[in-house]
Structure 1
Amino acid sequence: MLVRGLRIKILRHLSSSIRRQPTTMMDNQLIANLSMLYTDRPMLERFSAAAEYGFSGVEIQFPYEWCAQELKGAADNAGVRVHLINVPAGDLLQGGKGLSCYDEQQDEFRKACALALEYGKTLSVEKINVLAGNVYDDSHREACLNCYIDNLRYAAELFLSEGIMLSFEAINNLDMPGYLYSRFDEMLDIYHKVAHPNAGMQYDIYHMARMGEKIAQQIRYHGDKIAHIQFADCPGRGAPGSGDLPLGEYFQLIAASDYTGVVSAEYKTKGNEQSDYGWLVISE
């Protein structure tokens, strides 16, 4: 059952040798990625788990193996909102081309967008994310980028009809070597080329850290262009405190920036409650 009136304190830096101390309260709502958190439970039970830990909402990467109405019922029963889902990405995560970067897959991409929109409407999501594809031949990169930009414009307009915003995301090229774009300046360039009021960047702190990006500067100066923020510690993509990132500092910058959305915990868990969720300090 969701405990009302709770807020989640964020820890600036954790280590095994330093007692955990909370820093400032976080102004932005903190949500849980149910594709990566609470994976020891069936999907329909993860909503209540997130609520019990104080998360105000959730996101699901690819919800399509579950009935949308059942997911909506689980979210409503737990008192949490589903904020974001992804458009189906075909074979992208298996190293394939994906659906959004190749002209010959336009029909399949548009069908995927239609399915995502149906789920988005049922789940009352705020945003739908469109992942790019893998491009292993540099001679195809420009054509793939142009196709992706066109597809983002199409999806932005389609989702606008239901009041759902489009997001798009850079993924580091160490974890996904073939992914179309991995750096912030590439994502920003795509943002300007798409030039649609219903499209914004999905900023993943972990992916940007892997690329050595200037995270604090980017949050401070580009918050108004960001549609969604996710985080994990780095290295390792684990829970806050498992790596070296000053996540507390980043959260304070987010709260002070022009970004007005939620912030999603999207990290790998180890199956140990303390190491996975011990960074959450709940207060009345």
Structure 2
Amino acid sequence: MLRFSANLSLLFDEYPLLERFQAARRAGFDAVEIQFPYDLPAEAIADQLQYHDLRLVLFNVDAATLLQGGEGLAAVPERVAEFRRAVAQAYRYAQVLRPAFVNVLPGRCLTAACRPAYWQTLLDNLRFAADQFAELGVETVFEVINTFDMPGFLVDSGRQMLDILDQIGHSHLKMQYDIYHMTRMGEDCAAFIAEHAERIGHIQFADVPGRAEPGSGAIDFSAMFGAIAGSAYRGWLGAEYRPSGATADSLAWLPASTV
């Protein structure tokens, strides 16, 4: 049976973040994820998880100004020390929250001539992060983002993700595969997941083109979820979409068996 987690950075944003845990549980979710939890003390998040009997699946290492148009931290040669401080911060949160995964956003490269140096820095930083979180029994993942929403993103295909895994060869490093982003890039997501399920740590989804809930766009999620259920993937599916209205009204896709 498929297992779904609610991304509290996007879902239930009608409420303050600390109230979204209760809303997710009330909607039928057993697990949640947060993009960047660092505005709240880890202990406050842990209290909400325990009180509402929720599992924290994933959160991200801080990426500086990536979402505001910057290059992020993970691939910029001049920012290695800053990236390591961000990993240390995430490590402290992981000690308290014990997520299944910590995600590293590879970031942008805005100068084509710099891509080889950025690529090597990303490999080194991913290896470093995977070593750190492995000490806690937490796996590291990294993801692709489509280059329409985020021009210059360094990793923009499943093939590149596989290349990174092959080059690093770390037993605690896997892919975070995002159906929204990879559909935007023209990939056959169901086929990729079926072929590489054992190398995928976490899957996220939203519909295309608007990044809203399943049923709002062009993806056949009945077929997509069926294909994932028939694959070797046994992880969580993270609902990381922007609801087109109230979150509770966007959950018609959520199987009744999870409610």
Give the Cα–Cα distance (whole angstroms) in 1 for the partners of residues 6 and 81 of structure 2.
32
The superposition leaves residues 27-49 of structure 1 with CA deviations (integer Å, 9 ceiling, x where unpaired) of: 12111000000001011111111
Residue 106 of structure 2 is matched in structure 1 by 132
Which runs of 5 or more structure 1 residues have no equivalent in the other structure?
A: 1-26
Residue 227 of structure 1 is matched in structure 2 by 201
Give the Cα–Cα distance (whole angstroms) in 2 for the partners of residues 90 and 273 of structure 1.
28
Give the Cα–Cα distance (whole angstroms) in 2 for the partners of residues 90 and 61 of structure 1.
13
Give the Cα–Cα distance (whole angstroms) in 1 for the partners of residues 248 and 183 of structure 2.
24
| Matched residue SS, 2:129 | helix
**Are 1:155 and 2:155 matched, yes or no?**
no
Residue 178 of structure 2 is matched in structure 1 by 204
Task: Name the TM-score, length of structure 1 as normaliser.
Answer: 0.88
1:215 to 165, 169, 189: 189
Which runs of 5 or more structure 2 residues have no equivalent in the other structure?
A: none
| Matched residue SS, 1:263 | strand
Give the Cα–Cα distance (whole angstroms) in 1 for the partners of residues 122 and 7 of structure 2.
25
Give the Cα–Cα distance (whole angstroms) in 1 for the partners of residues 27 and 210 of structure 2.
23
Give the Cα–Cα distance (whole angstroms) in 2 for the partners of residues 205 and 96 of structure 1.
24
1:247 to 214, 221, 240: 221
The structure carrying a bigger helix percent of its residues is 2
1:96 to 57, 67, 70: 70
**Contact 2:103/2:142 (8 A) holds in 1:** yes
| Matched residue SS, 2:216 | coil
Give the Cα–Cα distance (whole angstroms) in 1 for the partners of residues 247 and 90 of structure 2.
32
Give the Cα–Cα distance (whole angstroms) in 2 for the partners of residues 195 and 55 of structure 1.
34
How is 1:1-284 mapped onto 2 (pairs within 5 angstroms)? 27-273=1-247, 275-283=249-257
RMSD over equivalenced CA pairs, Å = 1.3
| Higher RCO (CA 8 Å, separation ≥ 6 residues) | 1
| Matched residue SS, 1:279 | coil
Give the Cα–Cα distance (whole angstroms) in 2 for the partners of residues 219 and 118 of structure 1.
32
Kindly state the Cα deviation for residue 280 of structure 1 after the two structures are TM-superposed: 2.9
Q: Percent identity?
A: 44
The superposition leaves residues 224-253 of structure 1 with CA deviations (integer Å, 9 ceiling, x where unpaired) of: 110100000111101010011011212122
Give the Cα–Cα distance (whole angstroms) in 2 for the partners of residues 281 and 71 of structure 1.
27
| Matched residue SS, 2:74 | coil
Kindly state the Cα deviation for residue 272 of structure 1 after the two structures are TM-superposed: 2.9
Give the Cα–Cα distance (whole angstroms) in 2 for the partners of residues 196 and 56 of structure 1.
29
The superposition leaves residues 153-179 of structure 1 with CA deviations (integer Å, 9 ceiling, x where unpaired) of: 010011000000000001000000021
Give the Cα–Cα distance (whole angstroms) in 2 for the partners of residues 138 and 31 of structure 1.
36
Higher alpha-carbon Rg: 1
Specify whether residues 274 and 54 from structure 1 end up closer, same or farther in structure 2 by C-alpha distance, changes over 3 A only: closer
Specify whether residues 59 and 274 from structure 1 end up closer, same or farther in structure 2 by C-alpha distance, changes over 3 A only: closer
**Contact 2:146/2:184 (8 A) holds in 1:** yes
Kindly state the Cα deviation for residue 134 of structure 1 after the two structures are TM-superposed: 1.3
Specify whether residues 206 and 177 from structure 1 end up closer, same or farther in structure 2 by C-alpha distance, changes over 3 A only: same
| Matched residue SS, 1:85 | strand
**Contact 1:129/1:168 (8 A) holds in 2:** yes
Kindly state the Cα deviation for residue 209 of structure 1 after the two structures are TM-superposed: 0.5
- Runs of 4+ in structure 1 deviating by more than 4 angstroms, as ranges, are none
The superposition leaves residues 24-69 of structure 1 with CA deviations (integer Å, 9 ceiling, x where unpaired) of: xxx1211100000000101111111111111110000000001110
Kindly state the Cα deviation for residue 119 of structure 1 after the two structures are TM-superposed: 0.7
Specify whether residues 73 and 191 from structure 1 end up closer, same or farther in structure 2 by C-alpha distance, changes over 3 A only: same
